[in-house]
């Protein structure tokens, strides 16, 4: 299959090449793909991923098409494969897909047009990982030896699962923090107070209430006090340490409202970088470099 489905099968060199290409776009490089059109098929809600892919397409001269799930033939039972095959038949040049099912793309092996994974279940969110890496790279100029703590609802987070694998390969030390019942992969555990003292990057994760099978058992105020990034904790971070969050974020739960836009926060910069990463990924795929 063509496109970008996961970073797990990409070499470290190729990942760095995507980041360098995104930085070139951020510095003004122009590339144009006149006459191309791509569609965003989102089976789960999204603001950043869906619309930054569309902005990236517009910046590259590609016409973006939106898919209205509620008004589509998915509601008549049409499968993901038949939906994507339909867009391929209409002459669309690529599809961006977000789906509730982990590795949904295994059902799409006969599709010939490029597929860009906008998030699959709780497994992977490759362009989010890339924009997170770009933001870290811009800040520190390297990855080797940096300490990052993934803080919060690790179990339900495709960002945590994708980031931890790639960040380790790039030489970062990955820790986790948050409720221990939400910690589902092997990484050293730090309390949030230990994490802010030790780490270069605090990568907060949204509490994904919509994926919880049962109540957390504590109030959001109790969660914030025990696991959240309060302003006092943000002030305890190292001088050059940064705060990231894929967003959307729950103000007052995993992050204090005033922390979201404090000097150490890079959350809105991550969103800006997302446009350049998606420009890089789309252009490299269309040029046969990815
Ligand atoms: N970070 C992220 O994936 O945001 P959206 O769900 O709004 O796309």
- Which parts of 132-227 are beta strand (E)? 147-151, 173-177, 201-204
151 touches 176 (CB < 8 A): yes
pLDDT digits (tens, 9 = 90+) for 23-56: 999 999 999 999 999 999 999 999 999 999 999 9
Q: What are phi and psi of 289, to 5 degrees?
A: -95, -5
| Ligand 1: centre distance to CA 199 (Å) | 24
Note the pLDDT of residue 49.
98
| Ligand 1: centre distance to CA 278 (Å) | 13
| Ligand 1: centre distance to CA 273 (Å) | 13
Low-confidence ranges of the chain (pLDDT < 50): none
Decide which of 3.30.430.20, 3.40.50.1370, 3.40.50.300, 1.10.10.10 is the CATH code for 3-123+272-286: 3.40.50.1370
Atom 4 in ligand 1: which residue has the minimum CA distance? Answer: 48
110 lines ligand 1 (CB under 6 A): no
The DSSP call for residue 263 is T
| Ligand 1: centre distance to CA 9 (Å) | 23
247 lines ligand 1 (CB under 6 A): yes
| Ligand 1: centre distance to CA 174 (Å) | 22
The fold of 126-270 is Rossmann fold (3.40.50)
Q: Where are the domains of the chain?
A: 3-123+272-286, 126-270
Atom 3 in ligand 1: which residue has the minimum CA distance? Answer: 49
Same fold, 3-123+272-286 and 126-270: yes
46 lines ligand 1 (CB under 6 A): yes
Total-model pTM: 0.96
What atom in ligand 1 is closest to the CA of residue 119? 3
Which of 43, 49, 203 gets mutated to test ligand 1 (max ligand atoms within 8 A of its CB)? 49
Q: Is 237 exposed, middle or buried (0-12, 13-18, 19+ CB in 10 A)?
A: buried
Q: What's the chain's Rg over C-alpha atoms? A: 19
Note the pLDDT of residue 242.
98
Please list, in sequence order, all residues whose beta carbon lies within 8 angstroms of the beta carbon of residue 42, skipping any fewer than 6 positions away: 49, 50, 67, 69, 96, 97, 98, 118
268 lines ligand 1 (CB under 6 A): no
| Ligand 1: centre distance to CA 250 (Å) | 13
Note the pLDDT of residue 18.
98
């Amino acid at each position: 299959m063509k496109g970008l489905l996961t970073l797990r099968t990409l070499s470290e060199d190729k990942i760095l090449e995507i980041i360098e290409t995104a930085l070139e776009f951020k510095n003004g490089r122009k590339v144009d793909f006149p006459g191309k059109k791509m569609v965003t098929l989102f089976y789960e809600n999204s603001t950043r991923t869906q619309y930054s892919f569309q902005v990236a397409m517009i910046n590259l001269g590609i016409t973006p098409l939106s898919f209205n799930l509620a008004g589509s033939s998915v509601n008549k039972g049409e499968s993901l494969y038949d939906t994507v095959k339909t867009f391929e038949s209409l002459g669309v040049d690529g599809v961006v897909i977000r789906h509730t099912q982990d590795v949904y793309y295994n059902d799409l092996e006969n599709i010939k047009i490029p597929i860009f994974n906008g998030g699959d279940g709780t497994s992977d969110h490759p362009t989010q990982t890339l924009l997170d890496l770009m933001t870290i790279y811009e800040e520190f100029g390297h990855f080797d030896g940096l300490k990052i703590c993934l803080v919060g609802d690790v179990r339900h987070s495709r960002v945590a699962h994708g980031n931890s694998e790639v960040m380790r390969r790039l030489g970062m030390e990955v820790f986790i923090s948050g409720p221990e019942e939400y910690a589902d992969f092997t990484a050293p555990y730090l309390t949030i107070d230990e994490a802010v003292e030790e780490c270069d990057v605090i990568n907060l994760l949204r509490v994904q209430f919509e994926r919880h099978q049962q109540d957390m058992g504590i109030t959001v105020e109790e969660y914030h006090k025990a696991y959240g990034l309060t302003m006092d904790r943000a002030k305890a971070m190292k001088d050059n340490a940064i705060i990231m969050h894929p967003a959307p974020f729950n103000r007052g739960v995993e992050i204090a409202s005033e922390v979201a836009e404090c000097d150490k926060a890079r959350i809105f910069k991550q969103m800006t970088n997302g446009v350049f990463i998606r420009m890089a990924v789309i252009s490299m795929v269309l040029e046969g470099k990815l």
